[in-house]
């Protein structure tokens, strides 16, 4: 079963997670999501695999979060997913998928159960 990592090479946690995956003998498909953002369908699938709410995949510390008004608790998942696809810096990183399971690699060890 293949592994995909949504990766930001400038992020230390993302680099550490990629190294961990490779150290375990896997060569993942690396998606540099800032250059190749997920589609709405892909992001919806990722969120479903993570088993979290769309809001939980959004980085609230990014300037876009406030400038787009994403702190409004009444926004539904479709608005948040749209914003994350249009502004991929908003996505938590890294995100690792294997089959129907996914983890956010913060800390990198959070992906360990996907590698067994």
Helix (H) or strand (E) holding 95: strand 95-98
Of 87, 96, 67, 110, the C-alpha closest to 4 is 96
Q: Which residues pair with 79 in a beta bridge?
A: none
Q: What pLDDT is attached to residue 1?
A: 84
Count of C-beta atoms within a 10 Å radius of residue 73: 6
Average pLDDT over residues 100-110: 97
pLDDT digits (tens, 9 = 90+) for 4-35: 999 999 999 999 999 999 999 999 999 999 99
The active-site residue out of 1, 2, 11, 64 is 11
User: Would you place residue 109 in the very low, low, confident or very high pLDDT band (cuts 50, 70, 90)?
Assistant: very high
Structural domain span for residue 98: 3-115
Q: What pLDDT is attached to residue 34?
A: 98
Higher pLDDT, 1 or 114: 114
Known catalytic residue at 11:
yes
CATH code of 22's domain = 3.40.30.10
Q: What pLDDT is attached to residue 91?
A: 98
DSSP 22-63: HHTT--PEEEETTTSPPPHHHHHHHHHHHTS-GGGGB-TTSH
3-state secondary structure (DSSP) of residue 3: strand
Please report how many Cα atoms fall inside a 13 Å half-sphere around the Cα of residue 75, on the Cβ side: 19
What domain count does the chain have? 1
pLDDT digits (tens, 9 = 90+) for 33-79: 999 999 999 999 999 999 999 999 999 999 999 999 999 999 999 99
pTM across the whole model: 0.95
Token pair in block for residue 7: 């990766």
């Amino acid at each position: 079963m293949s592994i995909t990592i949504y990766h930001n090479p400038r992020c230390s946690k993302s680099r550490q997670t990629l190294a961990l995956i490779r150290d375990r003998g896997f060569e993942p498909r690396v998606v540099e999501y800032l250059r190749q953002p997920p589609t709405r369908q892909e992001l919806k699938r990722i969120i479903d695999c993570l088993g979290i709410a769309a809001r939980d995949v959004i980085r609230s510390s990014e300037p876009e979060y406030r400038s787009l008004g994403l702190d409004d608790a009444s926004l539904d998942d479709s608005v948040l997913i749209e914003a994350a696809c249009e502004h991929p810096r908003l996505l938590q990183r890294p995100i690792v998928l294997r089959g129907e399971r996914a983890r956010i690699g913060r800390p990198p060890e959070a992906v360990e159960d996907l590698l067994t």
